[in-house]
Amino acid sequence: MPVFEVAAALTVLLWIYLLLGRGFFWWMQEARLPRGPAPPRRVAVVIPARDEAQVVGQALASLAAQDYTGPFEIYLVDDHSTDGTAGIARQAGVHVLGAAPLPDGWTGKLWALSEGVREASRLSPDYFLFTDADIVHAPGNLAGLVALAEDGGYDLTSLMVQLRCETLAERALIPAFVFFFFKLCPPRWIASAKHPTVGAAGGCILIRRAAIERIGGIAAIRGELIDDCALAAAVKRTGGRVWLGLTSATRSVREYGSFAEVGRMISRSAFTQLRYSALLLAGTILGMSATYLLPPVLLFGYGSWLAALAWLLMMAAYLPVLRLYRRSLLWAPALPLIALFYTAATVHSALRYWSGRGGAWKGRAQAARN
């Protein structure tokens, strides 16, 4: 058998494994949160915000409209905004805190969360809801998360919310963001106490106060750039139960108007995910090339029917996320090109880190090279 056919056969086997052996990550089944009244647990909502005037009003309005019978308070931690974010929050009637100057060794978001947790802890809440300033919550979201945590005994529940998918760049790249994230962190594996995989989506996390105390507070992960997954890992490592689900009812309204903006979003933490390792970067480039680029190359270069089969399996895996985002199924054949974009963004992330500008976000470089 020619070498190219051997390579094509390996890509088929790889996609069979991804379809059947990786927690069915690609199925993209929406979470069914419990309906009806939730146990009246006390909840403190903490929103870290830095220059979020364009979106924060919608987020706060959705939180104020929650159909939740238990007591809850909303705290917005203003992380030195210059665009009037704090004023909008005050008009909405929520508690507004000004974050103290960022200490050494902390990322900005985690410092803001820590400040919010410290202030809100005076209410002795049963749970904290950590949510971003661009998240518009469905009316039953808080009640559903609390009920799920109570019924399932979860210490941390998190939702991958529906990301905005309107501009050309968003339509091309955002469904793949969810696809790649779930491939890395299959929800079924996350929920299993027997599996070491962890993950969470930082836009919407409900966590027990006892779980935060057990891990040593937010300070235990203070320097982590991928803060959501680090928080989930700390909870699971200390014996807590973690759950991640998918929803289209709660959504992000943050706009990514261009391919460059999406690229910067990916680049901000991609090399962090690889633990700043050049070896893992090389492995990622090789793996992404073999998984996504090799099938079309072998098909068009050598006419391999096995490569065509691998590409078909790839497209089949991608269809559910396209349906979730109501995008044309004609985007499925473009997944190799989309994967190439993500690979390039990962390389860019490494270059930014090595130049001392890693993790750049709203004027801060949060991952400097040692």
The pLDDT > 90 percentage for the chain reads: 93
**Residue 22 burial (10 A CB sphere; 0-12, 13-18, 19+):** middle
**Could you give the CA distance from residue 342 to residue 201 in angstroms, rounded to a whole number?**
19
Predicted confidence (pLDDT) per residue in 118-159, tens digit: 999 999 999 999 999 999 999 999 999 999 999 999 999 999
Of the pLDDT bands very low, low, confident and very high (cuts 50, 70, 90), residue 357 is confident
Of the pLDDT bands very low, low, confident and very high (cuts 50, 70, 90), residue 20 is very high
The pLDDT > 70 percentage for the chain reads: 96
Structure tokens that stand for 331 in this block:
């985007």
Of the pLDDT bands very low, low, confident and very high (cuts 50, 70, 90), residue 369 is low
Residue 361 pLDDT > 90 = no
pLDDT given at position 366: 61
Going from the C-alpha of 191 to that of each of 195, 233, 241, 291, 297, the distances in angstroms are 8, 12, 7, 26, 37
Phi and psi at 170, nearest 5°, equal -65, -45
pLDDT given at position 45: 98
Residue 235 pLDDT > 90 = yes
Tell me which of 32-36, 191-195, 199-203, 249-253 is least confident. Answer: 32-36
Of the pLDDT bands very low, low, confident and very high (cuts 50, 70, 90), residue 363 is low
Of the pLDDT bands very low, low, confident and very high (cuts 50, 70, 90), residue 38 is confident
For the chain, residues classed under CATH 3.90.550.10 are 31-252
In terms of pTM, does the model score above 0.85?
yes
pLDDT given at position 252: 98
Of the pLDDT bands very low, low, confident and very high (cuts 50, 70, 90), residue 214 is very high
Residue 370 pLDDT > 60 = no
Residue 215 pLDDT > 60 = yes
pLDDT given at position 362: 67
Of the pLDDT bands very low, low, confident and very high (cuts 50, 70, 90), residue 174 is very high
Q: How far is CA 217 from the centre of its chain?
A: 21
The mean pLDDT value for 186-193 works out to 96
The mean pLDDT value for 4-28 works out to 96
Domain 31-252: CATH superfamily is: Spore Coat Polysaccharide Biosynthesis Protein SpsA; Chain A (3.90.550.10)
Residue 190 pLDDT > 90 = yes
Q: Which residue(s) pair with 252 in the sheet?
A: 135
pLDDT given at position 356: 84
Predicted confidence (pLDDT) per residue in 253-309, tens digit: 999 999 999 999 999 999 999 999 999 999 999 999 999 999 999 999 999 999 999
Given the structure tokens 């974009």, which residue do they identify?
A: 341
**Could you give the CA distance from residue 14 to residue 223 in angstroms, rounded to a whole number?**
35
Supply the DSSP string of 293-359, one letter for each residue. Answer: IHHHHHHHHH--HHHHHHHHHHHHHHHHHHHHTT--GGGGGGHHHHHHHHHHHHHHHHHHHHTT-EE
Going by the DSSP 8-state scheme, the letter that residue 18 receives in this structure is H
3-state SS record for 58-117? HHHHHHHCCCCCCCEEEEEEECCCCCCHHHHHHHCCCEEEECCCCCCCCCHHHHHHHHHH
pLDDT given at position 358: 76
pLDDT given at position 4: 85
pLDDT given at position 35: 86
The mean pLDDT value for 6-13 works out to 96
For the chain, how long is the longest CA-to-CA vector?
A: 71
